[in-house]
Structure 1
Amino acid sequence: MTQKTYQLTLTFEQILNLVLQLPEQVQEELIQEIKKKSAKKQDGDLLSVFDKIGKNAQAKGLTEEILEELLVDES
């Protein structure tokens, strides 16, 4: 048997309506999975942003010594 897949364009509202038709336990499992993935993505995104900033600064000549001088608290 050959199985075909079709790409459907669904709006957020349509997806939400489909999810609301699922049993309550399945809805809760989906919510937990989304929360886990979104937390991982945010952490990864933030770390990758900092990594990119650091690499760009080093490429422009920033060294650890210069960074230490910039961060000295002179108050």
Structure 2
Amino acid sequence: MNQKTYQLPLTFEQILNLVLQLPAQEQEELIQEIKRNSPKNKDEDLLSVFERIGRNAQAKGLTEEMLEELLADES
């Protein structure tokens, strides 16, 4: 197993590369999740959206260690 680790915080390019490695169905699910969490205020920038999603995930119990495991490249 070839595992790649990333330093947090991740850059937008790193996140995009990880997303592109997902199967098509998981990419679509992620797109739908982002749309559900998209800003009601059109002036909110992408970084603010990701920060809000991150806060929601942390509130639901996601830790940095869990995130690292989820983002690990297991190919």
The two structures have a TM-score, normalised by structure 2, of: 0.42
Structure of higher CA gyration radius: 1
Higher helix share: 1
TM-score, normalised to structure 1's length? 0.42
State the structure with bigger RCO (CA 8 A, min sep 6), 1 or 2.
2
